[in-house]
Amino acid sequence: MAGSILASAAAEPARHRAAVVAAWLLAALCALAFLAPLLTAQAPDRIDLANAAAAPDWGGMHAWGTDRLGRDLFARTMQGLRVSLLIGLVAALASVTIGTLWGGIAGFAGGRTGAAMMRLVDILYALPYVFLVIILATLFERGNVYVLLLAIASVGWLTTARIVRGQTLALRQREFIEAARAMGVPAWRILTHHILPNVAGPVIAYATLTVPQMILYESFLSFLGLGVQEPLASLGSLVSDGARDMEVAPWLLLAPAICLCALTLLLNLVGDGLRDVLDPRTGP
The structural domains of the chain, ordered by start, are 2-32+71-282 (1.10.3720.10)
Which residues make Cβ contacts (< 8 Å) with residue 29, sequence separation at least 6?
Answer: 81, 259, 262, 263, 266
CB atoms within 10 A of CB 279: 15
Q: What percent of the chain has a predicted confidence (pLDDT) above 70? A: 90
Task: Report the pLDDT averaged over residues 60-89.
Answer: 87
pLDDT band at 160; cut points 50, 70, 90:
confident
Q: Is the pLDDT of residue 6 over 60?
A: no
Encode pLDDT of 82-101 as tens digits: 988 888 888 888 888 898 88
Encode pLDDT of 110-138 as tens digits: 788 888 998 988 888 887 777 777 777 67
Encode pLDDT of 203-240 as tens digits: 877 787 788 888 888 888 777 777 777 778 888 888 88
pLDDT at 20: 87
- Residue pair 100/159 in contact (Cβ under 8 Å)? The answer is no
pLDDT at 28: 93
**DSSP assignment of 135-202:** HHHHHS-TT-HHHHHHHHHHTS-HHHHHHHHHHHHHHTTSHHHHHHHHTT--HHHHIIIIIHHHTHHH
Q: Is the pLDDT of residue 16 over 50?
A: yes
